[in-house]
Amino acid sequence: MDTPYEIEQTRLDNVLVKIQDAIVANQADLQKAANNKADVDDGWKDVRIKAGTYSSLFETAMGVRQQQQMLQERELAVNTAEHQADVLQRLKQRPYFARIDIQEPGADKPEAIYIGLASFSDGVDNFLIYDWRAPISSVYYDANLGPVEYETPDGVQKADLQLKRQFQIEDGTIITLFDTNETVGDQLLLNALAGESSTKMKSIVTTIQKEQNKIIRNTAAELLFVQGAAGSGKTSAVLQRVAFLLYRYRGRINAGQVVMFSPNQLFNDYIDQVLPELGEQNMVQMTYYQYASRRLPKLQLETLQERFEAQATGAVKQIIDLKGTSRYFKAMEEYAQSLNQAEIRVRPIKFRGEEIISKEQVAAIYYSFNENYNLGNRLQATKERLLKMVQGRIGSEMQKTWVEDTVQALSKEEYDSLLGDNPREFKSDDQEFKTLAKLIVTQELAPIMRGISRNRFININNQFVHFLQTVPTLINLADYGLTEQEWTEGIKATVKMMRQGELALADMTPFMFLFDLIKGSRGERDIRFVFIDEIQDYTPFQLAFLKFAFPRARFTMLGDLNQAIFTKENAVSLQSELTNLFDPAKSEYIQLTQTYRSTQQITDYSKAILIDGAKIDAFERTGDLPKVQILADDATMAQAALAQLQANIAEGETTAIITKTLAEAELVYDLLRDQTDVTIIRTENQRLVPGTIIVPAYLAKGLEFDAVIMWDASAQNYHGDDERQLVYTIASRAMHQLTVLAKQTLSPLLAAVPAELYIEEK
Ligand SMILES: Nc1ncnc2c1ncn2[C@@H]1O[C@H](COP(=O)(O)OP(=O)(O)OP(=O)(O)O)[C@@H](O)[C@H]1O
């Protein structure tokens, strides 16, 4: 009798032959398509026209990227043979990674289901491989042997799970095979976790854990809030979720309708291989800063890092905090409502240096529409009226001497280009003059018309300042520990910045919101799923705004309240704020407590940094205790770092030296660059490279490294309780090795960690 291994290998060989057959057939299809190139070109024409109808997208932040994705997706639809070719190549490399045997009530024998990256059948309904996202595949991730349930188009099906088998397949050969009763066998997970870090994140499709599976497959919640410790696989799960949703809603949504807000560009770069690896296109990925910058292209916006390094205190900080609250959001809504009655700030319409419609006239038009108009209609109606008025001036303007002078001065070339395609035969000189004059005036007026169409007659800067001035009548400042005097000072600071074309982070979202309210914006209605990573760094105001900006989207928010680097205490109240934004009946909160990234030793050490670290369970995988070294100065720290780097390199481990600030990173770089190969990461627009890197903490968010050296964890550098989370974030980036270097005295945050959790080297 054959062993299970032999039986499986024979089956695999058969499947591979069928995949090969399908590849040959597919190549014939591709050839046919190539011969039919004319057809395809027609298809393309169609694609372009259809994509053009999404014109609203161009006005907004998504822009070209989304258009490209839409085109690509359409192209796939036009040419599914190409898509199929891609799928088949993937399957050829690794046809499947698991098998489950399911016995349905009434069936005479169990059915074997093989699970892989995509479905594959050799005839109608004869599936040799099931997509991991198919409903039945969920059983593999969710259930132990015994009675199970899974979704079918006809409702829930009950069955008996009799076997769970996992494979590692390389080059057409089964390398290992495990039968397991655990949800996903620890052996396979251990193998997966034993690997080294890399500059690109990988998919976890073969070892998705039960809790993660819940996140991935949730389709019911309007808000899915995932709170999880560092390294608990939030990011991994959520990328799988995107792949799942694109599969589940295939034909109804495309990757361009899924947006992910991530902490920085470096992180985007880090995760951008996961979806392609799963055979899907990347969603629209951006940082909140990029989103805001594209919407406010004329303003220089403050970055998170500038704000982080500025360390606001006192009234300045209170003001920033107030501007992040949902109370402030409501105040702005109330204020906007009041603009229906009075106080709209407008600019006069000027033509050739002369006011042709005064401010007062514009405002009078704005308020000439009755109270049933909302802000959006009011603006639209005003715009139409203004355009008409400007157009109405053409006739009188044609009489002016400047027009006559211009006509007289026209060169032959100017004359020709002005007339363009117009007929050149004129009945009289007068008719010729009129034609030319009309063209000249129209041309001169065009920029003004354009300005009106783009709402330039609204003085948004002025309006925003007026809102700030109105705040004390809308909000009781004392509730936020502020006096009116302090608030007025704050306004001065904002005005000063705006004069220089700058806008602080705290004002950025309110500014966008006010403009949207005045425009009567209905938000980005094409977007169906919004993911927000590192949610702890967002204010309630921002969240309320995002909900407004993406009104038809379902939200998935991920965060670790222990890692709130930028907003700190705000993070705690975040969850309660969310209950005001999303119907609690349609919200789901999932907590992940198991961490996968770090060894038990590193997890225990990092969690001891937190006051309430109890909810974090290490995955059992042992390594060295973290090492703490207290040294005299920068030079000796550099020597220690170098020694550790060499040890790590000898073990084939990649190291990141994580500093608090960029200035510190520069210092370390200067100290080490001549002695070893190191790369400094200065901005989020850089790429991660293999080898040792030096990176400031705020750019290390979301990333992981085999080994981490925490640079200068001294009492001087990390003293306050408010730096606890930052220290935790740094320590929790390490997978296998953690070294803490401190100048003279160790930070009290780390000195409080029980001595048995680390080794101190003098
Ligand atoms: N089910 C899984 N199977 C294999 N590896 C996993 C699994 N879940 C998570 N991991 C691994 O654990 C590490 C941490 O995962 P991830 O970065 O997704 O965590 P996170 O919760 O986003 O962390 P952080 O909040 O610190 O950024 C990654 O290397 C990931 O591949």
Give 723-736 pLDDT, tens digit per residue. Answer: 888 899 999 999 99
For residue 221, what pLDDT band results from cuts at 50, 70 and 90? very high
Q: Which of 401, 435, 454 is the last residue of a domain?
A: 454
Distance 678 CA to ligand 1 centre (A): 26
Instruction: Evaluate if residue 289 carries a pLDDT over 70.
Output: yes
229 belongs to an annotated ligand binding site: yes
Residue nearest ligand 1's atom 18 by CA: 233
Instruction: Evaluate if residue 70 carries a pLDDT over 60.
Output: no
Inside any domain, residue 288? no
Identify which of 188, 193, 203, 236 to mutate to test ligand 1's pocket (most ligand atoms within 8 A of the CB). Answer: 236
232 belongs to an annotated ligand binding site: yes
Residue nearest ligand 1's atom 23 by CA: 231
Inside any domain, residue 750? yes
Please give the backbone phi and psi of residue 226, each rounded to the nearest 5 degrees, phi first: -110, 115
CB 306 within 8 A of CB 658: no
Identify which of 196, 198, 597, 606 to mutate to test ligand 1's pocket (most ligand atoms within 8 A of the CB). Answer: 597
Cα(171)–Cα(387) distance, rounded to whole angstroms? Answer: 68
Q: Region 521-546: what's the mean pLDDT?
A: 90
pLDDT of residue 684: 82
Residue 704 token pair: 């992981």
Cα(43)–Cα(57) distance, rounded to whole angstroms? Answer: 22
Cα(574)–Cα(622) distance, rounded to whole angstroms? Answer: 35
Instruction: Evaluate if residue 708 carries a pLDDT over 90.
Output: yes
Distance 234 CA to ligand 1 centre (A): 6
pLDDT of residue 488: 94
CB 511 within 8 A of CB 302: no
Cα(236)–Cα(239) distance, rounded to whole angstroms? Answer: 5
Instruction: Evaluate if residue 304 carries a pLDDT over 70.
Output: no
pLDDT of residue 732: 92
Inside any domain, residue 570? no
Instruction: Evaluate if residue 43 carries a pLDDT over 50.
Output: no
CB 657 within 8 A of CB 641: yes
Of 550 and 581, more confident? 550
- CB neighbour list of residue 632: distance below 8 Å, 6 or more residues apart: 743, 744
Distance 729 CA to ligand 1 centre (A): 14
For residue 283, what pLDDT band results from cuts at 50, 70 and 90? confident
Pairing status of strand 146-152 against strand 173-179: unpaired
Of 197 and 362, more confident? 362
For residue 530, what pLDDT band results from cuts at 50, 70 and 90? very high
Which SS3 state, helix, strand or coil, does residue 707 take? strand
pTM of the model: 0.84
Of 492 and 68, more confident? 492
Residue 284 token pair: 């629209």
SS3 content of the chain, % helix, strand, coil (to 5): 50, 20, 30
Residue nearest ligand 1's atom 29 by CA: 597
pLDDT of residue 545: 95
81 belongs to an annotated ligand binding site: no
CB 178 within 8 A of CB 168: no
Cα(437)–Cα(400) distance, rounded to whole angstroms? Answer: 10
Instruction: Evaluate if residue 179 carries a pLDDT over 90.
Output: no
Q: Region 124-131: what's the mean pLDDT?
A: 83
Task: Name the DSSP class of 625.
Answer: P
CB 355 within 8 A of CB 348: yes
| H helix or E strand, kind and range, residue 389 | helix 375-392
Q: What is the 3-state secondary structure (H, E, C) of 224-274?
A: EEEEECCCCCHHHHHHHHHHHHHHHCECCECHHHEEEECCCHHHHHHHCCH
ipTM above 0.85, yes or no: yes
CB burial string 94-131: b at 16+ within 10 A, e below: bbbbbbbbbeeeeeeebeebbbbbbbbeeeeeeebbbb
Report the atom number in ligand 1 closest to the C-alpha of 560. 25
Q: Which residues line ligand 1 (CB under 6 A)?
A: 189, 192-193, 204, 207-209, 212, 228, 230-236, 560, 596-597, 702, 704, 732
CB burial string 695-717: b at 16+ within 10 A, e below: bbbbbbbbbbbbbbbbbbbbbeb
Inside any domain, residue 611? yes
Distance 235 CA to ligand 1 centre (A): 6
Residue 749 token pair: 């945050």
CB 355 within 8 A of CB 389: no
CB 721 within 8 A of CB 568: no
231 belongs to an annotated ligand binding site: yes
Instruction: Evaluate if residue 22 carries a pLDDT over 70.
Output: yes
Cα dist from 525 to 258, 513, 652, whole Å: 12, 16, 49
Cα(111)–Cα(592) distance, rounded to whole angstroms? Answer: 33
Q: Which of 157, 175, 194 is the last residue of a domain?
A: 194
Q: What is the pLDDT of residues 83-120, one digit of tens each?
A: 788 888 888 988 999 899 988 888 888 888 999 988 88
Identify which of 142, 188, 207, 235 to mutate to test ligand 1's pocket (most ligand atoms within 8 A of the CB). Answer: 235
Question: How close are the terminal C-alpha atoms of the chain, in Å?
Answer: 64
Distance 241 CA to ligand 1 centre (A): 14
Which range among 186-200, 512-526, 577-591 shows the weakest confidence by mean pLDDT? 186-200
pLDDT of residue 31: 79
Q: Which of 194, 228, 246 is the last residue of a domain?
A: 194
| Number of domains making up the chain | 3
In one-letter notation, the amino acid at residue 499 is R
Instruction: Evaluate if residue 643 carries a pLDDT over 90.
Output: yes
Cα(33)–Cα(631) distance, rounded to whole angstroms? Answer: 69
Inside any domain, residue 512? no
pLDDT of residue 568: 47
Q: Which domain holds residue 125?
A: 4-194
Inside any domain, residue 609? yes
Distance, C-alpha 272 to centroid of its chain: 11
Please give the backbone phi and psi of residue 597, each rounded to the nearest 5 degrees, phi first: -70, -50
Cα(437)–Cα(398) distance, rounded to whole angstroms? Answer: 6
CB 260 within 8 A of CB 285: yes
Which range among 32-41, 178-187, 307-316, 406-415 shows the weakest confidence by mean pLDDT? 32-41
Q: Mean pLDDT across the chain, nearest whole number?
A: 84
Distance 144 CA to ligand 1 centre (A): 23
Task: Spell out where 533-586 has E strands.
Answer: 554-559
Inside any domain, residue 54? yes
Cα(505)–Cα(498) distance, rounded to whole angstroms? Answer: 12
585 belongs to an annotated ligand binding site: no
Distance 273 CA to ligand 1 centre (A): 15
553 belongs to an annotated ligand binding site: no
CATH number at 711 reads 3.40.50.300
Report the atom number in ligand 1 closest to the C-alpha of 733. 26
Instruction: Please name the residue that has the structure tokens 């018309």.
Output: 449
Distance 263 CA to ligand 1 centre (A): 16
Q: Region 610-632: what's the mean pLDDT?
A: 84
Q: What is the pLDDT of residues 238-276, one digit of tens each?
A: 999 999 998 888 878 888 899 999 888 888 888 888 888
Cα(261)–Cα(291) distance, rounded to whole angstroms? Answer: 9
For residue 417, what pLDDT band results from cuts at 50, 70 and 90? confident
Inside any domain, residue 509? no
Task: Name the DSSP class of 367.
Answer: T
